[in-house]
Chains A and B, each alone.
Chain A
Amino acid sequence: DGGITQSPKYLFRKEGQNVTLSCEQNLNHDAMYWYRQDPGQGLRLIYYSQIVNDFQKGDIAEGYSVSREKKESFPLTVTSAQKNPTAFYLCASSIDSGGSNNSPLHFGNGTRLTVT
Chain B
Amino acid sequence: RKEVEQDPGPFNVPEGATVAFNCTYSNSASQSFFWYRQDCRKEPKLLMSVYSSGNEDGRFTAQLNRASQYISLLIRDSKLSDSATYLCVVNKGYSTLTFGKGTMLLVSP
Which chain B residue lies CB-closest to A90? B43
B interface residue count range (under 10 / 10 to 19 / 20 to 34 / 35 or more): 20 to 34
Cα of A90 to Cα of B97 in the assembled complex, Å: 14
A interface residue count range (under 10 / 10 to 19 / 20 to 34 / 35 or more): 20 to 34
Q: Is B4 an interface residue (CB 8 A)?
A: yes
A104 touching B43, Cβ below 8 Å: no
Stretch at the interface among A13-21, A42-50, A61-69: A42-50
A99 touching B32, Cβ below 8 Å: yes
How far is the CB of B44 from the nearest CB of chain A, in Å? Answer: 6
- CB-contact partner of B101 in A40, A98, A105, A110, under 8 A: A40
Cα of A41 to Cα of B102 in the assembled complex, Å: 8
How far is the CB of A12 from the nearest CB of chain B, in Å? Answer: 17
* B17-36 to A contact mask, C-beta < 8 Å, 1/0: 00000000000000111100
B96 touching A100, Cβ below 8 Å: no
Q: Is B11 an interface residue (CB 8 A)?
A: no
Contacts of A116 in B (CB 8 A): none
